[in-house]
Structure 1
Amino acid sequence: MSLSHLASKLESASPDVPCLARLMQLLAWNNIYTVDYNRKPTSKDEGEALYGLTPTSRWLLHDNELSLAPMFLTFTHPSMMAPWQEIGRSIKEGGTAFEKAYGERFSKLEGTLVDVGGGIGKAMAKIVEAHPHIKGINFDQPHVVETAPRFQGITHVGGDMFKEIPSADTVFIKSVLHDWGDDDCIKILKNCQKAVSKNKGKVIIVDIVLNPEGRGLFDETKLGCDLLMMALCVGGKERTQHEWNKLLKKAGFAHYNIITIPAFVSIIEAFPTEN
């Protein structure tokens, strides 16, 4: 394929062809592509460069049955590259490079943290292990917590999230709300709000935020998860930011923040009051 042909395939109205030529020169030198010159026998010119695939670049084709393209795009995404910029500081100061780049998720929380629908408490155990100053409450149905192992710093509480959630400074609810329709979600969120209102705390929701028009790294996976919810749950679905906004307002929350992280889920911080 010629350089002009390559340039015509780029999603750009006016690609910088000379810069593309310099990039292809390096890639050909590293055997990512082959390069041959379409030289006329009677011409002294070098001829037009024609680029071809090598065994290495064939692994990066999207339409190949065995393709490394998705993995390559994942690990070179800006959100995945940012922690590498903090490797030096993590060695000098301690801590992980990810925390240096994005901050710790639970280090600033104080008091009690209840995990709604926390199963046997493994997620809460990891949080409390990393941040022992947090008093953890693992909340799920009675028959679930009855089989839960003991974890230091964690209390298991059985109950029904549609009726009442234990009072806490912070409520954590991960990958639960997408199992339920809007009316059920509003009931759960109202109980979450009641649980933190006395302490003027917040609710941390970890779930998918759909972007139907997006072409980002995880957007197709999110849409696929929405169909999975449709197939497996009565009323369950993934939600757009607009749909999350409607749910949280109907549940009585004053405001919320959506925090994008390098994963197909997002973090939604919901606050029952303006303070």
Structure 2
Amino acid sequence: MLTIKVITGSNLDSYSAMAAEAPVVLAPTDDELLQAQADLWRHGLCYLTSMGLQCAVKLGIATAIHRAGGASSLPDLITTLSLPASKLPFLRRLMRLLVYSGIFAADDAAAMTGTYRLTPLSCLLVDDGVVGSHPSQVPLVHSMTSRLCLEAAMGLAEWFKKDHLPSLSAAALPSPFEEVHGVSPFDGSMANLDPEADIMFNEALAAHDNSGFSTVLVLHHWSDEDCVKILAQCKKAIPTREAGGKVIIIDIVIGSAPGHVLEAELLMDVGMMLVTKGRQRDENDWRDLFKKAGFSDYKIVKKLGARGVFEVYR
């Protein structure tokens, strides 16, 4: 049924006023909707990149390419990895996605018929020990793509809806991981639930924290309150700035670089929210922590990708 509203002189002024106050919503164009649909597919299916990465790690593709001298054809990979020959066209499709994602490189990225090579990223996935100056990050991939973390992520909406005790501080709230599994990955309680998973998470933590740095203070696993306590103790242990005293911190600084680095920082922040009571911080957050811990000044002396190197002074 069609309903027509007749605007008469008596209510025309009020209608005009209402129309003037109403926000103007522009309908998307057909081209914008087509692009939006592609973006929706990309966001909705991006977990397949993570699962493809996990699959590549479990198959040992990076290690196989490394052992082949840094380049390998698809048939050679099938043979080296002892995969059925019938899986060759399917492996080609997986590698096409991983090449596009920058995990591997190929001589012919369009046809995908040439040889595959390691990229700086896949060099971190070689499990023959250390490539260059960095230890293998394979344990980190196993951890980030584990069933336990995925189940925690799937419970995120319910975690947001749950009204925890109002008296609990942000630091006391259980993480979504704890809410789903009843344990925390890094406080020793995981060993009771799943000893193998406990080993996996601790190996991942060691791989992350030792990524080219021998001794660092990594603070993003801790709440703001705990970080202030840690930093206050560090302050007590150093002399004044004039005497050469300083605390050196190497940690992620959100907003340190645009593009993919920023996306990685934001993903790491939500990842920390998912499994720990910690967080990633921007420079203002760091400044607040230093001030609350009683430090007088700080400076970022170097940028290391997503990380910043802080010098903090009494």
Question: If the length of structure 2 is used for normalisation, what is the TM-score?
Answer: 0.32
Instruction: Name the structure with the higher strand share.
Output: 1
Higher relative contact order (CA 8 A, sep 6+): 2
Question: If the length of structure 1 is used for normalisation, what is the TM-score?
Answer: 0.36
